[in-house]
Amino acid sequence: MIVILGGTFDPIHSGHLALAKQANQLLKPDKVLFMPCKQPVHKATSGITSAHRINMINLAIQNDANFAIELREINRDTPSYALESLISFRQQYPTEPIFFLIGMDSLNTLHTWFKWQECLANSNFLVFQRPGETFQPDPQVAPYIQGNINDSLEQLPLAGHIYLAQHQQVAISSSELRSNLMQLKNDFLPEAVSDYIKQHRLYQ
């Protein structure tokens, strides 16, 4: 089983790591892959280079043997659509369940994703919820939702289903962290990442 956590990781923070650890404990995959995107389609970027983001991810996950970085989106020349990556993962792992980790906000807007049905045809989605978020999936998406994954762990499909996780995400986003980096005193950053940001004078 492969678990994929995609995002800008700008910067990677404790919320990302907590989500990955929860998925790792719940699903017991072969690997949890941190997949940074190069050109986000729906997000404005901070101007931090891909090299810096990759270095920060490597520092954050260096002590967990089951975590790895996945660079197929960074190495792509076109904007980052989830579909292209999920198709390539399915081709690489044709007989293994694939899980793509998303937040409740993404589930509620999944119907706006580029060819979201094809994304689901190539993977399952595992949904985590931040405190205060509501469960409001679009009627188009609702039939794919199987409910709580804890009830389905023994019969997980290769792809095609959406599951909800009981665990909640840490209530912080990368954009919030960037705007409050000094005030937060790096409470949401792994120490090695915090040191890297100071060393390279990032987000100033």
Joined tokens for residue 170: 């840490």
Q: What is the pLDDT of residues 104-113, one digit of tens each?
A: 999 999 999 9
Q: What is the pLDDT of residues 47-75, one digit of tens each?
A: 789 999 999 999 999 999 999 999 999 99
Residue 184 has pLDDT above 80, yes or no: no
Q: What is the pLDDT of residue 61?
A: 98
CA distance 163 to 123: 11
> 6-10, 32-36, 136-140: which has the minimum mean pLDDT?
6-10
Report the Cα 197 to chain-centroid distance in Å: 21
Q: What is the pLDDT of residue 41?
A: 53
Percent of the chain with pLDDT over 90: 65
- What is the mean pLDDT of the segment spanning 15-27? 92
Bridge pairing between strands 145-148 and 124-129: unpaired
Strand order in the sheet with 124-129: 67-69, 31-36, 2-7, 98-103, 124-129, 162-168, 145-148
Query: Domains in the chain, ordered, with CATH?
Result: 2-96+111-123+168-200 (3.40.50.620)
Three-state DSSP class for residue 194: helix
